[in-house]
Structure 1
């Protein structure tokens, strides 16, 4: 590796502590910072849904199709039979829910980063535990970024699982008018709860979210740390780079978890009264592999990968710009 970018331990010494904001740990972390994390994450989540919902609807239709089909065929039938607004079927729930989910993801991730800054400083005898640098521009070892994202993913799965369950049920509902099984998000919630299916698919969601978000934030923060190592502060990194880093991070996330996401979607779309797949990851995997081979685990892969770049670029750039607007303190 060139001398310009040292071995990627990404430790706090990459930036001069004297140029960073120092927080007296005796005063504790201001609740304003936590609220800012949550608010910025919520706005980022809204941007994510608005950009990504059409791609996500297409992906879910492909993942849950019972016969072989293509992206173009799904798009053609959807527009012809249901109209262009069908791309936003089930959007109300994620618009509200994903905003909350992303705020949890980013909020927990930022809280864990502050925890590791404090932990690392307390281990260093040369740094007073009373003056711990919690600047967002300060950097951590790579493995700690993975743990931060993983923790956010596990916590978030308790919210993401029912939200995605509702969205998938509405997205795969092709009938209109009085023939619809679910009249809307609230009707779907009531019926799922009554049949004990609201948390179906939580375990695969937890695994996907944990590892996926660990990868997601690891890649993003590694790219940000590389920029910081050149002498820039976090706030000086241009928005186009934030967008590019977010796009690449989202792409890496889906490359690592996509087959599991297919299994999760099938479990969450299964019949509520007589589940065909027994709510089992291994049973779904064996069944769809026996029927269609390895390609079964990559249904909808194209739309997802096309979606991941703009959606996650929008999410990260929105989060970072809102944080800059609100200020670091």
Structure 2
């Protein structure tokens, strides 16, 4: 953080959160799911810079955050793929850029399994046998394993499946539910992607959920910036506000109960799908009306939790329509740049 001259304001909520010991895994079920808005390309690398140094160097790699990264940006070359794999990011296809996108893709399956008790075999997304071994052309796999631990996102590539290792059970997963950069003068949010609901509904046990609100990061790397665009702007004040850990039983218990009933119903109608591994669903559970409606409700609840943290920063309430997909469809076909509402959007 000091390297780019940022002034960091951390909400006191964080310190109470830290003293409760939630950064360190103290037990076998001490796992986390963070939800954050995405304000610029620097959000993820910068926001964890406020952690005391003992948390930067005192955590094993298996207890550092996992996240999702755009396949079409971060995994286009072998050096980039290796870099982001080492950074504990899962290659995620975006539907606007790939036919392999959507809530059923392997990256979502891996995220669900990381929040659960492992290890898990890479099925049903097992990479081809020739892509299981390390080579200069195949750098994102375990060079020391004789077991098949690589999965594929498109039937051709291969990536190490972190959920194949027991040490990654009940991991810390951090996601940006908007799925793209959104810089609004009014500090409003876009709709959240429905895939976030899968992580809550399908993990073997409901993960702890901590909502986060970021401010000021858009000034560090604003989309309207001119040359040199690749450099963050120094001297900006940013804040990272952590909400309280959610009472998951009270907030999500009823949703998970409904999901289990849906599973029983769907598996009764299609018995051959009863033994699908965790994170793999039949078509009814992926695209059926009841399943889709349940995901919408859970996603709205998650967004409401982030809005509560936003409200704690003294910001006025959003228009309720801001959380609806239909509202943002009115933007038209334009996907990036300055929008009619004065916000800036970038599809990353």
Q: Same fold (TM over 0.5)?
A: no
Higher relative contact order (CA 8 A, sep 6+): 1
TM-score normalized by structure 2?
0.30
TM-score normalized by structure 1?
0.31
Higher CA-based Rg: 1
Larger relative strand fraction: 2
